[in-house]
Amino acid sequence: MRLLIIEDNRTLLKSLKKGLQEESFAVDTAEDGEEGLFLAQANDYDVILLDLMLPKIDGRTLLQKLRVQGLKTHILILTARDAAEDKIEGLNAGADDYLTKPFRFEELLARIRALLRRKYGTKNPCLTIDDLKIDTATHAVVRAGLPVALQPKEYALLEFLAHREGEIVSRTEIWEHLYDWQDDTTSNLIDVFISRLRKKINRPGLRPLIQTVRGAGYLLKAE
């Protein structure tokens, strides 16, 4: 999953980016509203984390611009403004959630995951496809009752395919959701991760769940 953090506090920005990358998120960052607006318009993000007190374009104005332009990405406001009036204004301006500083990183993660569940239309943090179970909170993966050990990018790819269960997902879509804009990884690496996942998930004697649709992409689907 790919996130955008728009925050002018460089120390907090670096800390959030590092922590979220360790949770298998691809993360882009912007330190002012102008850059944040450009990135939000140019890329497809799963969630945007937005500070209100930003240089060049303040967070509330940026939020309003994005909503007027029709952007449907879930936006979580991160701000030191904790007055009820500020929360009401932020939510009424189009935010999907509001978290005041200082906050626990674990709470931020929980709120991001809740927004992801809302985006993909699921209430259960545990995704189930046939006998494959994916716990999006702990990143634990189980197939036919046995745990499956995955590298961070392998897990991120599997979760993205699971959220799009039954849909053909192109290599371009996968790349856009697994890597940030500064990553120089080629999209051909997606084939490598698909191959690794297929070996770990489509084990001998089990129904194949990960399929390749020639010329179109990949899908995760129970037979």
Q: In angstroms, rounded to a whole number, what is the distance separating the alpha carbons of residues 8 and 11?
A: 9
159-174 mean pLDDT: 93
The model's pLDDT over 177-208, given as tens digits with 9 standing for 90+, comes to 888 776 666 667 888 889 999 999 998 899 99
Domain borders along the chain are 2-119, 126-220
What is this structure's pTM? Answer: 0.88
Q: Which CATH architecture has domain 2-119?
A: 3-Layer(aba) Sandwich (3.40)
Q: Class of the 126-220 domain?
A: mainly alpha
User: What pLDDT was estimated at residue 50?
Assistant: 97
Rounded Cα gap, residues 119 and 140, in angstroms = 21
pLDDT digits (tens, 9 = 90+) for 33-73: 999 999 999 999 999 999 999 999 999 999 999 999 999 99
Per the CB < 8 A criterion, the answer to whether 60 and 86 are in contact is: no
Percent of the chain exceeding pLDDT 90 equals: 75
Residue 187 has what pLDDT?
Answer: 60
